[in-house]
RNA sequence: GCGUCCGUAGCUCAGUUGGAUAGAGCGUUGGCCUCCGAAGCCAAAGGUCGCAGGUUCGAAUCCUGCCGGGCGCACCA
């Protein structure tokens, strides 16, 4: 945990800037605290002298020197040195730093915001099996949840279930029109243990798509089905509800394999039945944000005007080159834009689009709707209830906790829906809630596609996209890698690897270990790329357990744990007894020589977990955490090879090394846990 | 066309809200298992950071314009 040290150093610097340099705090630049590129340059580096150079009209070097002198003694800092180029470098007191971290006596920084955060992720249409694209959403969303909780923030995880959309309707049509099944027929199929219901629907959904293409008039059937489902109280609606329920249960099982969990399932049908939309609609109408279009192609629809606030009306004149000629663009573009865009909220047939329902839902999340759901227990895992919304008042049963009323909301959805998410924010601010609009965050990420090699392997290569850099996943066309198939393959591969290394292990145990390895492999793979990058999913690459992979990280921790197993066996000591002994030892092994520098470097690096979590949340980049964990595992492996513990005869050196490893493995285990990965006992 | 994201080593990607000598994985080549587990470690080769201007003490990073590509711009979600 390094942030408390940052906070102290920053405070002292601000103090010095105020009192020695006479700069009031409000006018001070932000003080960045960096990690120097080489250990010899110190443990923390501050480039603030560069910022001040122009303002003070002095060389950065001179400022750095005066600043370093003005700081005086700082608790926990051994020395402060102004570098020749203008950096101020801090060297920490290694011994006290290590001891405090091992003993957990570092006081946590106070939370600046304690309000509840709602994170909505997964939100898979409940009409088919989950695929690799959905997995990216869940891996990112679940990691965000874990990071926020790590910081001590209360988090509510919601999974939105779109049970009244076209996709469920399509599968219902597949069952009723293409297969001639009634409710009982579908139920019999779903209850058949030989049938994987979500896989069955995957194929059926693709067939329905083809069926529509065969005759566009069949789209009429879809419109009718959607209407029936939204209305309720008819056989199609019953079938739809059944399909959604069963598929959601499949998704929950798949996600449970991935260590992904939720607090609440929000069912779209409840938003309709409880008239959430009606309430939101009334307000939007009253404010004129939504109006009935009477002419043009959207006649008969209730529409919302789309604010084009991204238009380049405010020219960045200040930043443009001073000698650049004045742009005549302003004058030329004076014509009124006739392409003013409008988004349909209520269709001419009276049904509500996704946007409308989502607006109501977003208002509810912030506690702004003045209505609430009823709640029911949908399922149990480990004795804890998983709650779902419902439209009927419950009769008895456990009392539901308070849902909603968030102070901040993160919606984890891929970047293709950026435009819809922008509408959500827009409607919040039009309705007079700019603060909530501000705290409505679209956690956007790019889609997962298939590499050409993988598409070919799955038999999709000849379909399309040969000229493109990747092959797009399409649930509608039944093209993609199913999440459970991927996990099964990873487990099979991992089982082979485990049995090869641990031949005496019972198959059941090998299987449990293989599952942990498989989960780490997928989850790490899905978060290690920054979110703005399209992942061209390659199955061979994902199946690898070497190099920059989840299993590599697990392996590092397993090795570290092995050292402690052996120390316990041979010397009868564990991390706690070692920690207790450190007081009496000379700190030379920590301070003198290259080995000491390396050992210290490992501890310092491991301590940066809180800093990395902070950065990951601010940038919404789980990849920062992944990179940190990988680099730390690399450093550990290097240390492991260069500085043995069991074979080390000098007791003080041995114990300091063991202490460093204890801290490193604790931090690495934590980092893995934040990505939803567990570490097996051996592998 | 408008909006948005991406372009860094053969391939896949990092690059800490402008900072110290551009890094890693895979692949290639060559080493290391009587030595805490080789899912590992060490070393070598590999770069006009898409192009051109600009801002700055300093630019892969910020600005402008191009080039190439992805995605979005439905009475789907």
A512-530: pLDDT as tens digits: 999 999 999 999 999 999 9
The whole-angstrom separation of Cα A326 and Cα A345 is: 42
- Tell me the nt nearest to A566, Cα to C1': B36
Q: Is A221 helix (H, G, I), strand (E, B) or coil?
A: helix
Residue A376 lies in a domain: no
Residue A67 lies in a domain: yes
What's the pLDDT at A461? Answer: 58
- Tell me the nt nearest to A553, Cα to C1': B39
- Domain C-terminal end among A58, A92, A126: A92
Give the confidence band of A396 by pLDDT, cuts at 50, 70, 90.
confident
pLDDT exceeds 60 at position A288: yes
Length of chain A: 683
Q: Which is more confidently placed, A352 or A606?
A: A606
pLDDT exceeds 80 at position A316: no
Residue A7 lies in a domain: yes
How many other CB atoms are there within 10 angstroms of residue A52's CB atom?
20
State both tokens at A166. Answer: 């076209």
Residue A85 lies in a domain: yes
How many Å from the CA of A219 to C1' of B7? 41
- Tell me the nt nearest to A633, Cα to C1': B40
Beta-bridge partners for A471: A450
User: What mean pLDDT comes out for the span A445-473?
Assistant: 83
Residue A564 lies in a domain: yes
Nearest to A168 by CA among A215, A213, A232, A110: A232
What's the pLDDT at A468? Answer: 83
Give the confidence band of A466 by pLDDT, cuts at 50, 70, 90.
low
What's the pLDDT at A27? Answer: 85
How many Å from the CA of A31 to C1' of B16? 14
The whole-angstrom separation of Cα A185 and Cα A276 is: 33
The whole-angstrom separation of Cα A358 and Cα A371 is: 15
- Tell me the nt nearest to A528, Cα to C1': B13
User: What mean pLDDT comes out for the span A64-75?
Assistant: 93
How many Å from the CA of A119 to C1' of B41? 41
- Tell me the nt nearest to A356, Cα to C1': B77
Residue A42 lies in a domain: yes
Give the confidence band of A463 by pLDDT, cuts at 50, 70, 90.
low
Residue nearest the C1' of B6 (CA based): A533
What's the pLDDT at A326? Answer: 34
CATH number at residue A14: 3.30.1360.70
Q: Under 8 Å CB-to-CB from A570, ≥6 apart: which residues?
A: A646
pLDDT exceeds 70 at position A497: yes
Give the confidence band of A311 by pLDDT, cuts at 50, 70, 90.
very low
pLDDT exceeds 70 at position A73: yes
- Tell me the nt nearest to A648, Cα to C1': B36
How many Å from the CA of A623 to C1' of B26? 18
State both tokens at A318. Answer: 């200040």
How many Å from the CA of A77 to C1' of B33? 42
Q: Is A413 helix (H, G, I), strand (E, B) or coil?
A: strand
- Tell me the nt nearest to A339, Cα to C1': B2
User: What mean pLDDT comes out for the span A352-361?
Assistant: 90
pLDDT digits over A427-436, tens only?
898 889 999 9
Residue nearest the C1' of B40 (CA based): A637
What's the pLDDT at A312? Answer: 28
The alpha helices in A258-328, defined as continuous H runs, are 268-273, 276-286
What's the pLDDT at A516? Answer: 98
How many Å from the CA of A65 to C1' of B35? 49
How many Å from the CA of A641 to C1' of B30? 20
* Chain centroid offset of residue A456 CA: 30
Q: Which is more confidently placed, A306 or A31?
A: A31
Q: Under 8 Å CB-to-CB from A281, ≥6 apart: which residues?
A: A290, A302, A345, A346, A356, A360
| Out of A40-49, A214-223, A346-355, A457-466, least confident range | A457-466
Residue nearest the C1' of B17 (CA based): A619
User: What mean pLDDT comes out for the span A186-201?
Assistant: 97
pLDDT exceeds 90 at position A394: no
pLDDT digits over A229-249, tens only?
888 899 999 999 999 999 999
The alpha helices in A528-621, defined as continuous H runs, are 539-542, 550-571, 575-581, 588-591, 594-606, 609-619
Q: Are A428 and A363 within 8 A, CB to CB?
A: yes
Residue nearest the C1' of B54 (CA based): A321
pLDDT exceeds 90 at position A465: no
Give the confidence band of A464 by pLDDT, cuts at 50, 70, 90.
low
Instruction: Report how far apart the first and last C-alpha atoms of chain A are (Å, whole number).
Output: 29
pLDDT exceeds 90 at position A395: no
Strand order in the sheet with A77-82: A44-46, A88-92, A77-82
User: What mean pLDDT comes out for the span A192-220?
Assistant: 94
What's the pLDDT at A341? Answer: 74
How many Å from the CA of A108 to C1' of B29? 50
Find and list the nucleotides of strand B having atoms within 7 Å of a protein beta carbon.
3-6, 12-17, 19-21, 24-27, 35-37, 39-42, 53-55, 57-58, 62-64, 69-77
Residue nearest the C1' of B35 (CA based): A647
User: A268 — phi, psi (to 5°)?
Assistant: -60, -35
- Angle CA(A151)–CA(A155)–CA(A160) in degrees, nearest 5? 140
What's the pLDDT at A5? Answer: 96
According to the per-residue pLDDT averaged within each range, which of A110-114, A305-309, A486-490 is highest?
A486-490
User: For strand A88-92 and strand A44-46, is the pairing parallel, antiparallel, or unpaired?
Assistant: antiparallel
> How high does pLDDT run on average in chain A?
91
Total domains in chain A come to 2
Residue A149 lies in a domain: no
Q: What is the 3-state secondary structure (H, E, C) of A608-651?
A: CHHHHHHHHHHHCCHHHHHHHHHHHHHHHHHHHHHCCCCCCCCH
DSSP string, A44-113: EEE-HHHHHHHHHTS-HHHHHHHHHHHH---TTEEEEEE-TTS-EEEEE-HHHHHHHHHHT-PPPPPPS-
Q: Are A450 and A480 within 8 A, CB to CB?
A: yes
pLDDT exceeds 60 at position A201: yes
Nearest to A268 by CA among A248, A286, A283: A248
Q: Under 8 Å CB-to-CB from A397, ≥6 apart: which residues?
A: A376, A377
What's the pLDDT at A308? Answer: 55
Q: Are A598 and A639 within 8 A, CB to CB?
A: yes
The whole-angstrom separation of Cα A222 and Cα A242 is: 18
pLDDT digits over A610-650, tens only?
999 999 999 999 999 999 999 999 999 999 999 999 999 99
pLDDT exceeds 80 at position A392: yes
The whole-angstrom separation of Cα A332 and Cα A182 is: 63
Residue nearest the C1' of B57 (CA based): A50
pLDDT digits over A578-620, tens only?
999 999 999 999 999 999 999 999 999 999 999 999 999 999 9
- Domain C-terminal end among A68, A92, A116: A92
How many Å from the CA of A606 to C1' of B15? 19
Strands (E) across A336-451 are located at 342-346, 374-381, 384-390, 408-414, 440-445, 448-450
- Tell me the nt nearest to A36, Cα to C1': B20
What's the pLDDT at A310? Answer: 35
Domain of A79 in residue numbering reads as: 3-92
Residue A635 lies in a domain: yes
What's the pLDDT at A459? Answer: 85
The whole-angstrom separation of Cα A118 and Cα A483 is: 25
Q: Classify the complex by whether its ipTM is higher than 0.90, answering yes or no.
A: yes
The whole-angstrom separation of Cα A632 and Cα A608 is: 10
CATH number at residue A628: 1.10.730.10
How many Å from the CA of A340 to C1' of B2? 12
User: What mean pLDDT comes out for the span A369-381?
Assistant: 95
How many other CB atoms are there within 10 angstroms of residue A357's CB atom?
22
A157's torsion region: left (phi>0), alpha (psi -120 to 50) or beta?
beta
- Domain C-terminal end among A49, A64, A92: A92
């Amino acid at each position: 945990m390094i942030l408390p040290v940052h906070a102290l150093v920053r405070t002292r610097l601000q103090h010095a800037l105020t009192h020695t340099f006479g700069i009031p705090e409000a006018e001070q630049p932000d003080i960045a605290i960096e990690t120097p590129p080489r250990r010899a340059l110190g443990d923390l580096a501050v480039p603030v002298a560069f910022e001040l150079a122009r303002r003070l009209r002095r060389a950065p070097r001179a400022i750095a020197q005066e600043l370093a002198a003005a700081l005086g003694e700082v608790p926990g800092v051994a020395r402060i040195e102004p570098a020749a180029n203008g950096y101020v470098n801090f060297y920490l007191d290694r011994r006290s730093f290590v001891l405090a971290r091992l003993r957990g006596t570092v006081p946590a920084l106070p939370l600046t915001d304690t309000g509840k955060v709602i994170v909505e992720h997964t939100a898979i249409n409940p009409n088919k099996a989950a695929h690799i694209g959905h997995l990216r959403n869940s891996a990112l969303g679940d990691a965000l949840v874990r990071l926020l909780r790590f910081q001590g923030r209360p988090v509510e995880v919601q999974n939105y279930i779109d049970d009244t959309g076209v996709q469920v309707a399509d599968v219902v049509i597949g069952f009723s029109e293409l297969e001639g099944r009634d409710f009982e027929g579908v139920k019999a199929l779903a209850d058949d243990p030989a049938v994987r219901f979500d896989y069955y629907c995957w194929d059926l959904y693709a067939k329905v798509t083809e069926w529509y293409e065969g005759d566009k008039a069949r789209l009429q059937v879809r419109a009718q089905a959607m209407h029936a489902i939204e209305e309720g109280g008819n056989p199609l609606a019953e079938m739809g509800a059944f399909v959604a329920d069963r598929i959601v249960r499949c998704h929950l099982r798949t996600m449970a394999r991935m260590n992904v969990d939720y607090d609440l399932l929000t069912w779209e049908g409840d938003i309709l039945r409880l008239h959430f939309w009606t309430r939101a609609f009334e307000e939007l109408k009253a404010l004129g944000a939504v109006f009935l279009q009477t002419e043009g192609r959207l006649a008969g629809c209730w529409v919302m005007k789309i604010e084009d606030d991204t238009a380049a009306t405010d020219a960045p004149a200040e930043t443009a080159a001073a000698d650049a000629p004045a742009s005549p663009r302003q004058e030329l573009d004076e014509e009124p834009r006739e392409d003013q865009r409008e988004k349909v909220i209520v269709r001419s047939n009276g049904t509500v689009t996704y946007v409308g329902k989502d607006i109501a839902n977003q208002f509810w999340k912030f506690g702004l709707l003045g209505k609430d759901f009823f709640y029911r227990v949908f399922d149990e895992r480990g004795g804890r209830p998983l709650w779902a919304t419902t439209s009927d008042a419950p009769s008895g049963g456990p009392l539901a906790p308070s849902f909603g009323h968030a102070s901040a909301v993160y919606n984890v959805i891929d970047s293709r829906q950026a435009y819809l998410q922008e509408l959500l924010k827009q409607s919040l601010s039009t309705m007079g809630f700019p603060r909530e609009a501000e705290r409505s965050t679209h956690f956007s990420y790019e889609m997962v596609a298939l590499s050409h090699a993988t598409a070919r392997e799955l038999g999709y290569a000849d379909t399309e996209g040969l000229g493109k850099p990747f092959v797009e996943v399409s649930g509608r066309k039944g093209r993609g890698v199913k999440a459970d198939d991927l996990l099964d393959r990873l487990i099979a591969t991992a089982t082979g690897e485990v049995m090869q290394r641990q031949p005496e292990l019972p198959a059941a145990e090998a299987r449990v270990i293989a599952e942990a390895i498989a989960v780490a492999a997928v989850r790490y793979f899905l978060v290690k790329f920054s979110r703005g990058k399209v992942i061209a999913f390659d199955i061979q690459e994902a199946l690898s357990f070497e190099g920059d992979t989840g299993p590599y990280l697990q392996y590092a921790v397993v090795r570290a744990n092995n050292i402690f197993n052996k120390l316990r066996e041979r010397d009868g000591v564990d991390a706690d007894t070692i920690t207790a002994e450190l007081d009496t030892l000379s700190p030379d092994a920590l301070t003198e020589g290259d080995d000491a520098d390396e050992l210290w470097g490992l501890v310092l690096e491991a301590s940066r977990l809180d800093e990395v979590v902070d950065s990951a949340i601010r940038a919404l980049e789980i990849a920062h955490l992944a990179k940190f964990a990988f680099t730390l595992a690399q450093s550990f492996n290097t240390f492991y090879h260069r500085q043995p513990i069991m074979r080390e005869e000098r007791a003080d050196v041995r114990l300091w090394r063991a202490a460093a490893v204890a801290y490193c493995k604790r931090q690495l285990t934590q980092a893995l846990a934040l990505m939803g990965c567990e570490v097996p006992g051996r592998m």
